Amino acid sequence: MKRVILTALFLCIYIFSSAQEHIADSTDVFWKHLELGEVVVTGLVGDTRVKEMATPISVIPATELRSRASSNIIGTIAREPGISEITTGGGISKPVIRGLSYNRVVVVNDGIRQEGQQWGDEHGVEIDGASVHSVEVLKGPASLMYGSDALAGVIIFRPEPVAMPGTITGDIASEYQSNNGLAAYSVHTAGNKNGWIWDARFSDKYAHSYSNRFDGVVPNSGFRERAVSAMAGRNAGWGYTRLRASYFHLTPGIIEGERDPLTGELEGDATGYVPGLPFQHVRHFKLVSDNTFHVGTGDLKAIVGWQQNRRQEFEESADVCGLDFRLNTINYDFRYQVKTTGNWKIAAGIGGMFQKSENLGDEYLIPAYSLFDAGVFGTASKTLGLWTLTGGLRADVRLLGSEALEDRFKAFDRTFNGVSASIGAVRPLGDSFTLRLNAARGFRAPNLSELSSNGEHEGTLRYEIGNTDLKPEYSLQADLGLDFTSKYVSVQSALFVSRIDNYIFAARNGAVSDEGLPVYAFMSGTAHLKGAEISLDIHPVHSLHIGSAFSCVYAREAGGDDLPLIPAPRLFSEIKYEFSHGGCTLSNSFLALNLDWNFAQNNFYAKDDTETATPAYALLGLSAGADIMYRRHKLASVYLIGSNLTDEAYQPHLSRLKYAEENPVTGRRGVFSMGRNITVKLVVPIGRQ
Each residue's pLDDT tens digit, 247-297:
999 999 989 889 999 999 999 888 889 999 999 999 999 999 999 999 988
pTM of the shown model:
0.91
CA 536 to chain centre: 22
> What mean pLDDT comes out for the span 661-676?
95
Q: Show the 3-state SS of 384-440.
A: ECCEEEEEEEEEEEEEEEECCECCCECCEEEEEEEEEEEEEEEEEECCCEEEEEEEE
- Find the angle CA(359)-CA(514)-CA(315) to the nearest 5 degrees: 45
| One-letter identity of residue 182 | L
| Range 322-332 burial, b when 16+ CB lie within 10 A, else e | bbbbbbbbbbe
CA distance 134 to 410: 44
Q: How far apart are CA 358 and CA 309, in angstroms?
A: 11
pLDDT tens, 292-316?
Answer: 999 988 999 999 999 999 999 998 8
**Cα–Cα nearest to 379, from 21, 29, 44:** 44
Compute the average pLDDT of residues 491-520: 89
- pLDDT for 97 beyond 90: yes
Greater confidence (268 vs 550) lies with 550
Could you tell me which residues are beta bridge partners of residue 90? none
Helix/strand/coil for 28: helix
pLDDT at residue 76 is higher than 80: yes
Per-residue pLDDT tens digits for 496-510? 999 999 999 988 888
* CB-based burial, 398-416: b 16+ in 10 Å, e otherwise: bebebeebeeebeeeebeb
CA distance 400 to 296: 38
Please tell me the distance from the alpha carbon of residue 130 to that of residue 204, in angstroms, as a whole number.
10
**Helix or strand (DSSP H, E) at 235:** strand 223-236
Tell me the three state secondary structure of residue 381.
Answer: strand
Task: Look at residues 332, 317, 211, 319 and name the one whose alpha carbon lies nearest to residue 266.
Answer: 211
- Eight-class DSSP state of 669: B
User: Is the pLDDT confidence value at 20 over 70?
Assistant: no
pLDDT at position 405: 87
What pLDDT, on the 0 to 100 scale, is given for residue 646?
Answer: 97
Mean pLDDT of 167-185: 96
pLDDT computed for residue 38 by the predictor: 63
Question: Model confidence at 581, in pLDDT bands (50, 70, 90)?
Answer: low
- pLDDT band of 455, cuts 50, 70, 90: confident
3-state DSSP call for residue 644? coil
Intra-chain end-to-end CA distance of the chain, in Å: 43
The model's pLDDT over 258-269, given as tens digits with 9 standing for 90+, comes to 999 999 999 988
Domains in the chain: ranges and CATH: 2-687 (2.40.170.20)
The Cα–Cα gap between 197 and 230 comes to 11
| Neighbouring-strand partners of residue 426 | 388, 436
Phi/psi for 168 (5° steps) reads: -130, 120
More confident site: 37 or 480: 480
- Rounded Cα distance between 599 and 581, Å, is 37
Q: Pairing state of beta strands 46-49 and 40-43?
A: antiparallel
Measured from the Cβ of residue 258, the count of other Cβ atoms closer than 10 Å reads 12
Phi/psi of residue 194, each to 5°?
Answer: 55, 35
Structure confidence at residue 5 as a pLDDT band (50, 70, 90): very low
pLDDT of residue 19: 36
